Chains A and B, each alone.
Chain A
């Protein structure tokens, strides 16, 4: 579905089978449409905001209730994208849409309401200024899926997020600001149809295989796995491996961590399990504090960055900051990392009051918040200390210190959306030991591992499934599900090949915006300063020579030139249009 918010024109495109085979759905299709306007600024009326489901959505394929949101990132200028869950993706698919491409700019705040094939535009002047909780209460979506922005996006926060179904978010890249640039306050979808499945028994067999593998996964379903404790289960593990970013990445171990872990949240809040539609892992935790609305407890990244990274020692601060970010519609990782940068530069520690006030200032674009809400890099530059921004390509790093996992170091540097752990997700093998363990303090073999994993995860985000399930299952099982749903013969390797095309397309988009090897790098701190040793673990600075050698290898393996730029021959081989716009 193509919607132009300037003209209110709506048209339906029915792509051919080749298009589906080439780009799959989700991230792949979003990237295809972004490519058509790659060099435009994020707030240009012709810039697209794409929301695509994948072929498995609204089927019984496990963890497939997801979609991918894609546009140009206001924070980085790179491809901006995020996977999102909740019930919205399932509703969109059940309404009969594989995805939507939104262009134009409404002259006033607007909401898009979809009920099956009926699409309505509703004025949203009265909702502008409301936070995402208020929007949800006002619209009372019931079983419909609802994505909305909050005041952060309206006030130009570069890392504004889109809140989905109250407890979920398209968090990173500042996609909320892309909504705001179009005056799009919300999107609400209700569908009553079903995804047609070509081979129901085949899908059921694939699902059983995936369930069996999930049950065998300690990280997902084990005694201390995500299903029991939420993603916060990772907190103790990362601290024990001496790779918890602490004091703005000045050290890698936080001595207060044992009191701030998932067990502490469980004890304090007795949360309930919760998850996305179609998921049996249920990795979210919902607390019901007396007198307050039910609220999602912080995910691992938020737990870590709002404690160790900024030097706070109270889980109540974390819960309050997390809830405030959710209501405002702000990415918690970037918010916390920017505050950590401020703490390092100014030397001022936070109190609960100052922490929450600064979050208010960021979201409402006032006082010091006017600089902080542009992200850590812009803030650090404005303060004359760019070296204090722990970011890659202007996106702040998440809660895994790269000195403790060299695949992660390479993955951060090369990620097409900036400092992101999810593109290659190397903690799977460097920490979780899946599919097998690799030496986390070595670059040996990592260049190809990262490349394959990027392709792998690109197709996962196009299917669209949750990355967590791949701590247990593989594309072998998901290819079986894909074939059962679509009737298209496929294999794990066929899917990875599609992922390679999708990822290379992102590399081309970034190249069109001037990004190259100069940007595929890490902050100097990681090459010059050690992490915190202990527990028989030495955390040395990363050897820059080895890092650069691994990066060179990656460029060769990925089919890029020595400056990290795409090659016409490779683009042609992948069936991609060369750079011309």
Chain B
């Protein structure tokens, strides 16, 4: 089964780390992206670059900023192949943001 993992973090969590730590954490993220179970993913640019788009009554409405006004921001995502939810949870727990005051939302992907 494929599971998406949305990575929610407190803004600035990465930038506030020392350079050594940042290098180590980046390496972890890259290792996960290269894990045999990985099926995709991306790091997202900062929330200052977000634009939200809606279409209402045929009109395209564009607003500055993320859809949900929350403290935490979406930093990126992975898609992993796993046999069951327990395996997916173990993968999610390896994502650095999970232990650095962030949260990973895990959801099965609809298979077509």
* Same complex: no
Interface set of A (CB-CB < 8 Å, partner B):
none
Interface set of B (CB-CB < 8 Å, partner A):
none
